[in-house]
Structure 1
Amino acid sequence: MIEDDFYRSSSQFRLWSYTEKSLQSLRATTNANASERVRSALRKSREAQQSATSSAAGTPAANQNGSDADSKAGGDETEIECLTPEEEHQLVRYFCEQIIELGEMYKPPLPTIVRATAIQYLRRFYLTNSPMTYHPKSIMLCALFLATKTDNYYLSLRQFAEVIPGGTTPEDLIQPEFLVMQSLRFTFDVRHPFRGLEGGIMELQAISQGMGQPAPHFPTQTPDDLKRRLHSLPPSPTTSSSSITDRLARAHHSTREILKSAAQMTDAYFLYTPSQIWLAAFMIADKPLAEFYLESKLGGPQQQQQGSPLYELRTKLIRTLTDCSNLLQAYKPLASDPDQKKNLRRIRKKLSHCQNPDKAGVAGQKRIPAAAAAAVAAAGDPATSESEMERLAKKRKLDGEQPMDIFGGELVTQRTKDAQQP
């Protein structure tokens, strides 16, 4: 089984690979469904507030046919301006960049692989969920902690929470964990392009030392031929060094930086395979070197006949890598673009007015512990509200004192009790 077959059997290929059109359609559908739920929830919330206020004042909430309430609800609904799919996408990208920064706060910093996995978890989560439903801040923290576990980088929950600014508790961190795992379809494997890059650089280093392996399609090639062609490549536009070792090291570093930033913040993982991503980034870092690497595998245009399988494969691959390179080069960090930062502030302010109230607390957001008590308090009866709050507080205390054994009591103890009964 070749590497491509292994990848096609992975959950990333089967569940998280899309075309550009299908990806846009999925995000548009998610946004439309969330917007509908947000408007409905906000309308019900406003109607409840109006009803409570009217009851406290002793006035009817609407006339006999209910037209007054309907008109108010309809007017409120038109005032609710929800996020667009593009605004949601930009907001998610901002929190992906925050994962990179947060990872640097740990001592030592979280590994690149852990942060990259967390970013892909966050991006996958918001393909079928909206920031209007679950705020990205709490999901981001949970995704990063989940990535430390799935990538075998052990940190206790308390150690992880201590670094996070803002007084985030361990309970806040893990509250949305099942929701995140469910949205990921319980598939935690992320195939990154970093490993492919390391393998490609090792192959080029072997070729530079005369130990390269010619491709099976070109049996007449020898390791010396490959070495001679590698050393005779035109210089890279970004370097003046004549040493092939320095050139490989510089290309490796530049490519890895692209994979750590642009590849994570764009849709590259959804649209391309890991090998296509690292090769596209390699072409950006050093195009002559990348083209030589491809020719060592597939041959150059002069070695192929038009219409042959290798010619068609090479043409298709170059076109795909060019598209991926354009996607990676189009990425601009938010911190370096004042216009994007200004737009992001507008989006975050807009989100505060269209957050789904029914989902408050589900993803770690603070909510009132007793909805019934809050409703009574809104009606203007403080005495009843306090008694209701006391009742709920006592209930929570009793629930906390009682041991919760999800598997039931011990069987030996139970049999002893049964034997003692007459």
Structure 2
Amino acid sequence: MFHNSSQRKFWTFKGEDELEQKRCNANGKFRKKAIETGKPGLSDSLFLERHEEDALFRLYERRLLDFCNAFKPIMPKSVVGTALMYFRRFYLNNSIMEYHPRIIMLTCAYLSCKVDEFNVSSTQFVGNLLQETPAGQERVLEQILEYELLLIQQLNFHLVVHNPYRPMEGLLIDLKTRYPTMENPESLRKSADDFLAQAAMTDAGLLFPPSQIALTAILNSASRAGINMESYMTECLGLKEDRDTLSKMYDSMRRMKTLLRGYELPKSEEVHIYKQKLERIHAEFAISSNKRKRGYEEDGHVAKEPRLAEE
């Protein structure tokens, strides 16, 4: 149950300012560690600023989503959602200047498959890196297995993620059984699914309970279809006499929608510059072993589309 979960206790935060402070702290922690190495010629211009880190985070998060969506066999939504949440939690307290997102994103996907019991072998998993050679896939797997324990530790061993997909199914069932005013609740599914997909690419899962994200998705879908569901909120959800709770809920929903509207992918020309800085940083302050560095190094090896046919 979410109410008693580690997610609610340790990974649900009061606001965006708190999240940004944590990310700033992670950025500062790496800068301090780098400066303490005593390397000559260090300057602030070498390091990534927070907005640059954020742009690269969104780039690699999108690549993680592309990898999961192209995965064969088809990866369940809950596994994808868990992988994205692992990625977001990891970089809440760590800088991408210290741990390159290229391998962390694959480690997040690999761990989520295991935790959510999506049974694919390690060979099957790296087999989805379609542009890699078999030898390259083997090197990637070695890196994933090396980073897996680090990821688990940085997640504080809190591996169960409560996604909003199950609550949304529960709400659709509830609408069918207790809200006869609505003729076809299933008509809300597509738009609600789209909302949840967008929410997964934001901090919504770090700020709101999954049930609230699911309810917002349903109400947003109904609103787009011109359906008023206030009576469902007041009568079926028992909020008629609790105007204070209802008001707070609507306020949270507005905050969530604002969060989603504010999401955008970074511009390609900016990303190119930031990536060059990131690679220079990792070359300069390589904290990992040579074995790790020889592994998964090319962004292009994460296929964004499944291979449809063999040549």
TM-score, normalisation: structure 2: 0.84
Q: Does 1:168 align with 2:137?
A: yes
Which stretches of structure 1, 4 residues or more, deviate above 6 A after TM superposition?
Answer: none
CA deviations on 1:128-178 (whole Å, 9 max, x unpaired) are 111100100111111111111000011111111122134232212211111
- The alpha-carbon deviation at position 79 of structure 1 amounts to 6.2
Match of 2:26 in 1: 30
Separation of aligned partners in 1, 2:44 and 2:173:
59
Say which structure, 1 or 2, has more relative contact order (CA 8 Å, 6+ apart): 2
Question: What secondary structure is seen at the aligned counterpart in 2 of 1:359?
Answer: coil
> Structure 1 residue aligned with 2:288, among 360, 369, 377?
360
Query: Compared with structure 1, are the counterparts of its residues 9 and 319 closer, same or farther at alpha carbon in structure 2 (3 Å cutoff)?
Result: same
Query: Which of 101, 105, 126 is 1:140 aligned to?
Result: 105
Query: Among residues 216, 224, 228, which one is paired with 1:280 in the alignment?
Result: 216
1:14 and 2:9 matched = yes
d(CA) in 1 for partners of 2:162, 2:191: 20
Partner secondary structure for residue 174 of structure 2: helix
Where does the alignment leave 5 or more consecutive residues of structure 1 unmatched?
A: 1-5, 45-72, 207-211, 213-225, 232-243, 305-309, 368-422
Name the structure 2 match of 1:268: 204
RMSD of the TM alignment (CA)? Answer: 2.2
2:195 to 258, 262, 266: 258
Task: State yes or no: 1:188 paired with 2:159.
Answer: yes
How far apart are the structure 2 equivalents of 1:259 and 1:278? 7
**In 2, Cα distance between equivalents of 1:362 and 1:203:** 55
Partner of 2:271: 344
Q: Which residue of 103, 120, 123 maps to 2:88?
A: 123
Decide whether the 8 Å contact of 2:72 with 2:128 is kept in 1.
no
Alignment of 1:90-105 (within 5 A): 90-105=55-70
Q: Matches of 1:141 and 1:286 in 2, distance apart?
A: 36
Give the aligned residue type for 2:168: L
* Counterpart position of 1:108: 73
Q: Structure 2 counterpart of 1:30, which letter?
A: A
Query: Which has the larger Rg?
Result: 1
Deviation at 1:299, TM superposition (A): 5.9
User: What SS does structure 2 have at the residue aligned with 1:36?
Assistant: helix
Measure, in 2, the Cα distance between the counterparts of 1:124 and 1:135. Answer: 15
Deviation at 1:329, TM superposition (A): 2.9
CA distance in 2, matches of 1:194, 1:127: 23
- Contact 1:283/1:290 (CA < 8 Å) preserved in 2? yes
Check whether the contact 2:164–2:214 (CA below 8 A) recurs between aligned residues. yes
- Check the 8 A contact 1:30/1:128 in 2, yes or no: yes
- Give the CA deviation at 1:83: 1.1
Confirm whether residue 153 of structure 1 aligns to residue 148 of structure 2. no
Q: Percent of pairs identical after alignment?
A: 27
SS in 2 for 1:286: helix
Amino acid at match of 1:22: E
2:35 aligns to what?
39
CA offsets 1:348-385 (integer angstroms, 9 cap, x no match):
11212222624133894328xxxxxxxxxxxxxxxxxx
| CA separation of 1:34 and 1:318: change in aligned 2, threshold 3 A | same
Q: Are the counterparts in 2 of residues 173 and 364 from structure 1 also a CA contact under 8 Å? A: no
C-alpha change, 1:362 and 1:205, in structure 2 (3 Å) is farther
Are 1:313 and 2:309 an aligned pair? no
Structure 1 residues 313 and 90, CA, compared in 2 at 3 Å: closer, same or farther? Answer: same
Question: Which residue does 2:43 correspond to in 1?
Answer: 78
Distance 1:40 1:144, change over 3 A: same
TM-score, scaled to structure 1: 0.63
Counterpart position of 1:234: none
**Residues 362 and 257 of structure 1, relative CA distance in 2, 3 Å threshold:** farther
- Aligned to 2:276, what secondary structure does the other structure show? helix
Is the 1:34–1:132 Cα contact (8 Å) retained in structure 2?
yes
Secondary structure of the residue aligned to 1:108 is coil
Cα deviation for residue 18 of structure 1 reads 1.1
Conserved 8 A contact 2:23-2:92: yes
CA distance in 1 between counterparts of 2:263 and 2:255 reads 13
**In 2, are the aligned partners of 1:39 and 1:80 still within 8 Å (CA)?**
no
**Contact kept in structure 2, 1:80 and 1:354, CA below 8 Å:** no
Q: d(CA) in 1 for partners of 2:25 and 2:5? A: 26
Unaligned runs of 5+ in 2: 296-311
Tell me if the contact between 1:279 and 1:290 (Cα under 8 Å) persists in the aligned partners.
no
8 A Cα contact 1:114 1:151, kept in partner: yes
Q: Note the C-alpha offset of 1:290.
A: 4.3
Distance 1:201 1:265 in 2: 23
Deviation at 1:322, TM superposition (A): 1.3
